[in-house]
Amino acid sequence: MPSRISSDSNLTRSLEVFVAIIETGQVTLAAKLLGLTQSAASQHLQQLETAFDATLLDRTSRPLKPTQAGHSVHRHALRILNQVEDLISDMRHQGPRPISVLRVGMLASTATTLTPDLVALAKDRFGVQDMTLHAGQSRDHEGLLRSKQADLVITSNPLYDMDGLERHPILTESFLLVLPKSYRGSTSDMTEIFKTLPLVRFAHTTNVGRRTEQHLRRLKLEVPRIIQADRSSMVTACVARGMGCTFLTPSLLIDGFVEQMPLNIRPLPIAGFSREITLLARQKELGALPAQFAETAKQILAKQIGAQMGATGLNAVRIHD
């Protein structure tokens, strides 16, 4: 067996890929989480097996399971990758500017509201020189953290199955019934509402869309017609034009309020459901910055949502202490 892996084979990246394959049980999903093609992930795996002259995965099992040699590599890989992260964290805190570069992922529905104040906080309080911002859906955030394309994310998926994260709760918000302003029918019976208005909801590829679909299935509520979109502004725009109704939380309604879309917002007349918004960051990498970011985000969202929801008389948000 070779005594070492040549430098051009990128040992650290290959170990990251192998750990992701073990955690997901799939090469395809591991590649997606790390922002790689399936062939690139397979190549990293092959490099490890060639270097160690051992088969690391039982390819006859589904999901994929490590062989005895694979268990050993996995154990060492976790230790090595943790040490690499400790090194990166230590080095980032050296010098007069402890955090020179910061990469942040945010929910698209809150990004416009949060960005100016968070950028100012990062630069003025923590001396951040370069800041990169990603606006997207919660499904993007796990991949950003695993592939180290983001240092922290503000997301609706707390990623409890991902180790090594610090979590700072921001708010919990209930879903509401959103109707066109012009709607004059029942607002207390979803079956009656669906007779005249199709459901406009987030696409099933989004976390909100999947949760909505699961909730309707649990309630055995038939929805004969559905319009799907992957941005809250697209959903609310369709509803404002009288094309349907939807279920949204206050933070998902921010763009609609800012653009003064004509909407009729009511309590959800079925067993309700809610979502949490949480700030996630890799543990001990950014010092006090994640907690301060979470506190600032709480204040901004509480003010924005409070101003928007005041006229409705609905209290659908709990800001965490």
DSSP codes of every residue in 232-269: HHHHHHHHHTTS-BEEE-TGGGHHHHHTT--EEEEE-S
Distant-in-sequence, close-in-space partners of 121: CB < 8 Å, separation ≥ 6? 292, 293, 296
* pLDDT surpassing 90 at residue 84: no
Mean local confidence (pLDDT), 300-316: 83
Mean local confidence (pLDDT), 124-146: 88
Mean pLDDT of the chain: 87
* pLDDT surpassing 80 at residue 6: no
Segment (H or E) for 111? helix 108-126
Q: Does domain 101-169+277-308 have CATH number 3.40.190.10?
A: yes
Most confident of the ranges 11-15, 52-56, 180-184:
180-184
CATH-assigned architecture of domain 7-92: Orthogonal Bundle (1.10)
CB-based burial of residue 313 (10 Å sphere; 0-12 exposed, 13-18 middle, 19+ buried)? Answer: exposed
More confident residue, 262 or 12: 262
Least confident of 114-118, 142-146, 273-277: 142-146
More confident residue, 230 or 183: 183
Q: How many percent of the chain have pLDDT more than 70?
A: 93
Rg (CA), the chain: 23
* pLDDT surpassing 80 at residue 4: no
Q: How many percent of the chain have pLDDT more than 90?
A: 40
Least confident of 23-37, 86-100, 163-177: 86-100
The CATH 1.10.10.10 domain(s) of the chain lie at 7-92
* Beta-strand relationship, 152-155 and 263-267: unpaired
Q: Please, which pLDDT band fits residue 307 given cuts at 50, 70 and 90?
A: confident
Q: What is the pLDDT of residues 250-283, one digit of tens each?
A: 999 998 888 889 999 999 998 878 999 999 999 8
Q: Please, which pLDDT band fits residue 1 given cuts at 50, 70 and 90?
A: very low
The CATH 3.40.190.10 domain(s) of the chain lie at 101-169+277-308, 176-272
Closest CA to 119 of 284, 253, 296: 296
Give the distance, in angstroms, between the CA of residue 3 and the centroid of all CA atoms in the same chain: 40
CATH code of the domain made up of 176-272: 3.40.190.10
Q: Which stretches of the chain are assigned E, i.e. beta strand?
A: 57-58, 65-66, 101-107, 130-136, 152-155, 165-174, 176-180, 199-202, 226-229, 246-248, 263-267, 274-282, 317-319
* pLDDT surpassing 80 at residue 131: yes
Q: pLDDT at position 2, please?
A: 46
Closest CA to 131 of 103, 110, 107: 103
Q: Please, which pLDDT band fits residue 3 given cuts at 50, 70 and 90?
A: very low
Contact present, 170 and 292 (Cβ < 8 Å): no
More confident residue, 272 or 170: 170
* pLDDT surpassing 90 at residue 60: no
Q: Which amino acid is at 61?
A: S
Q: Please, which pLDDT band fits residue 98 given cuts at 50, 70 and 90?
A: low
